[in-house]
Amino acid sequence: MNKLAAPEIQARLAALPEWSLDQKQIVRRYRFLSFRDAMRFANGVAEVAERRNHHPFIAIDYKVVTLRLTSWHAGGLTDADFDEAREFDQLYERMTGAK
């Protein structure tokens, strides 16, 4: 995977409005009604990450799960980060019904 240039990153972020750029990472916080729901989501994230062999940083703070994505081997963000972010958003929508 090739590292994306700044204009490409901005275009990809526009399609994922809940995600933000933090230096060389994209970040999103997901909120849940319970700790159990947050953990269920984190486990789903782990399944996606294992299947894709692309692993996010995961922080769990009670009912909030924060994900951070980057491609270390590329030295920044790649298509894989944005594709996986979209898949995490779809998992969240399936679990919560949120859009």
- Tell me the per-residue pLDDT of 34-86, one tens digit each, with 9 for 90 and over: 999 999 999 999 999 999 999 999 999 999 999 999 999 888 999 999 999 99
Considering the domain boundaries, does residue 80 fall inside one?
yes
- pLDDT for residue 79: 95
- pLDDT for residue 75: 87
Q: Which domain holds residue 51?
A: 6-96
Considering the domain boundaries, does residue 1 fall inside one?
no
Considering the domain boundaries, does residue 69 fall inside one?
yes
Q: How confident is the model at residue 98 (pLDDT cuts 50, 70, 90)?
A: confident
pTM: 0.94
Considering the domain boundaries, does residue 85 fall inside one?
yes
Number of domains in the chain: 1
CATH at residue 71: 3.30.1360.20
- pLDDT for residue 26: 98
- What lies within 8 Å, CB to CB, of 62 at 6+ separation is 35, 38
